[in-house]
Structure 1
Amino acid sequence: MIHTKVRCREIIESDVEAIADLLTRGFVGRSRNYWIQGLRRQAFRPVPEGYPRFGYMLDNDGTPVGVLLLIYTTRMEGEKTTIQCNLSSWYVEPAYRNYAPLLTKIAQRHKEVTYLNISPAPWTWPIIETQGFRTYSRGMFFSVPALSRAPRWSKIEVISQHAKQVEGLSEAETELLTRHARYNCLTLVCRTQQGTFPFILQPVRIRRGIIAPPAMQLIYCRSAAEYATCAGRIGRLLLRLGKVAVVVAGNGPVPGVAGLYTERRGRKYFKGPHPPGLADLTDTELVLYGP
């Protein structure tokens, strides 16, 4: 069948309901409310000027038949401003799959942007690599922080979404924590004799294996070393919340923290001028849409 009216265009706010319907059809197991919540979060978050708010769609005479969600974020690297784009959910109706390359081509056309693919299925890894993406995180470390010793003279503090300032943190990091608290993340600071260390965690579903312990995903910390320092305090807090494990993206175990590292899944890719930080999944699909 020849589709003469198919075109690729930017998604606008009036498309959101139809895009949610399309994604619900395309992703079995994801409810429409899941997509609506994420799209609404995208609708109200700041987006770098000149870049799409939601991403792109294949439009067949006014009806969306394909979609690629994009999440653009401004990053500060020292004094330099960079642009990062999380290539998120992709779906094209089977009858229109021959138009799918239009979405990929238009979505990755900005050479100054660093593109991320943080949740590819293992069978897609070779395809992604042929598109010029490079691995920056080869696997996942399933840590059990409660088995670590808590540092002496330390304490853990939950940061509210309403906090105006946090002692020991910059204004930018305070805003980062409160923004993610509004996304229903668990935002913490661990105060030690060495300093004040911020953390962002999010509940995550472990879908495979005989044993699936209640877990959190580490969304943000400054470094793996800071996580290791505060793991004992974090783990004891999480036990009170009914959580046992913390999943950490990386290229090996976190020294000093008990757990299991695997490269069978969890690979993360980037393409562009600025390799992302290992311990920084802020403002990505994991946060806006959830696990």
Structure 2
Amino acid sequence: MLRIVSIDEQRLTTAADLLAKGFPERDAGFWARGVSRLHAYARDHDFASVGSILLAKDEPVGVLLKIPGYHMTTGQKLLNLSSWYVDARYRWFAPRMLQEAMADDTFVYTDFSPSENAIKLNQQLGFRTFASRNLLFALPFTALFGRNAGTVLPIDQVPEGGLSARQVDGINLHMKLGCMALAIKLHDTCHPVILDVISKRRIPMARVLYATSAQTVVDNLRPLSRFLLKRGVPLLSMVTPADVQVRHAINPWPAHAYQIKGVWQDDVINEMFSERVFLNA
């Protein structure tokens, strides 16, 4: 008999063990830390669960993480599906796990890192697939030759009322999680940008997690580059729609696809509630 149960505090270790089995390129310690971090976030924000475990009788045979969040501008509820693994003996039941995870139609559902098999299954369940590029910018170069449409402000220098209360809450949450925030000021409007900083071959690299549009970032690469260079970050990566015109970038990674079920603004970069943040993936 197969049944699906929620990942509660007593099942965190079980979830981490399943994830380590399904994704052996990461060790058990990585998954234990990530699941604990995600659980703490959900507990502090009154979210019911961070995912599901599939049981065959009492044997854990599958896991799916669910990262809840909201759109910083509209308030729309979001749920990111991540790190999905089912033992080969029970793969036939995998679609049921996804259907159970998406039972609430008041959410917009996302999958920012789907496998080839997941892409096909997600499409059958109503997801749209977006083709995009994950671009890399060398900031010493773009600091000289990038576009310069507006001004970059440290987040603590944004004028009072320049950001909505929901935007401030989202920024504060992500800064507590170790992310960096700033604002691009165009005319009289402040556009928040959230980044995380990781190390690539021991070189700091910022990744854009949120921006009101990829074009806003592209149009302000010169001041943004100088802002990040002053903070010791020489590289920037950003996922952009294929139709955004970008100069001074290279495309060193394979084609990037993400999937959405529900209403989505295609030009907005919004990976605030992705595994990048909560699992440090």
TM-score normalised per structure 1: 0.78
Paired residues of 2:147 and 2:218 also in contact (CA < 8 A): no
Residue 216 (structure 1) aligned with residue 210 (structure 2): no
Match of 1:181 among 147, 166, 175: 175
Distance 2:146 2:236 in 1: 16
Q: Deviations over 1:242-266 (max 9, x none)?
A: 5433222222365464213589422
Cα distance, 1:285 vs structure 2: 1.7
Residue of structure 2 equivalent to 1:15: 11
Residue 66 (structure 1) aligned with residue 83 (structure 2): no
Ranges in structure 1 where 5+ consecutive residues have no aligned partner: none
Match of 1:37 among 29, 33, 36: 33
How many residues align? The count is 277
**For the structure 1 residues 137 and 290, does the alpha-carbon distance in structure 2 shift closer, same or farther, using more than 3 Å as the test?**
farther
Residue of structure 2 equivalent to 1:275: 264
| Paired residue secondary structure (1:43) | helix
Cα distance, 1:137 vs structure 2: 4.5
Paired residues of 1:156 and 1:233 also in contact (CA < 8 A): no
The amino acid across from 1:282 in the alignment is M
Distance 1:166 1:23 in 2: 44
**For the structure 1 residues 83 and 194, does the alpha-carbon distance in structure 2 shift closer, same or farther, using more than 3 Å as the test?**
closer
Cα distance, 1:56 vs structure 2: 1.1
| Paired residue secondary structure (2:61) | strand
Distance 2:104 2:89 in 1: 29
Match of 2:133 among 115, 120, 139: 139
The amino acid across from 1:290 in the alignment is N
Alignment of 1:112-151 (within 5 A): 112-122=106-116, 124-146=118-140, 147=142, 148-149=145-146, 151=148
**For the structure 1 residues 250 and 285, does the alpha-carbon distance in structure 2 shift closer, same or farther, using more than 3 Å as the test?**
same
**For the structure 1 residues 221 and 166, does the alpha-carbon distance in structure 2 shift closer, same or farther, using more than 3 Å as the test?**
farther
Q: Deviations over 1:126-159 (max 9, x none)?
A: 4433332112353323334541447499454265
**For the structure 1 residues 283 and 142, does the alpha-carbon distance in structure 2 shift closer, same or farther, using more than 3 Å as the test?**
same
**For the structure 1 residues 265 and 88, does the alpha-carbon distance in structure 2 shift closer, same or farther, using more than 3 Å as the test?**
same
Residue of structure 1 equivalent to 2:239: 249
Residue 28 (structure 1) aligned with residue 24 (structure 2): yes
> Percent of counterpart pairs with the same letter?
23
Paired residues of 2:72 and 2:166 also in contact (CA < 8 A): no
Residue of structure 1 equivalent to 2:154: 157
**For the structure 1 residues 228 and 152, does the alpha-carbon distance in structure 2 shift closer, same or farther, using more than 3 Å as the test?**
closer
Cα distance, 1:27 vs structure 2: 1.0
| Paired residue secondary structure (1:238) | helix
Distance 2:251 2:244 in 1: 9
- Name the Cα RMSD after superposition: 3.5
| Paired residue secondary structure (1:267) | strand
Distance 1:153 1:103 in 2: 46
TM-score normalised per structure 2: 0.81
Paired residues of 2:38 and 2:279 also in contact (CA < 8 A): no
Distance 2:46 2:204 in 1: 40
**For the structure 1 residues 66 and 46, does the alpha-carbon distance in structure 2 shift closer, same or farther, using more than 3 Å as the test?**
closer
Distance 2:66 2:280 in 1: 15
**For the structure 1 residues 122 and 236, does the alpha-carbon distance in structure 2 shift closer, same or farther, using more than 3 Å as the test?**
farther
Distance 2:149 2:227 in 1: 16
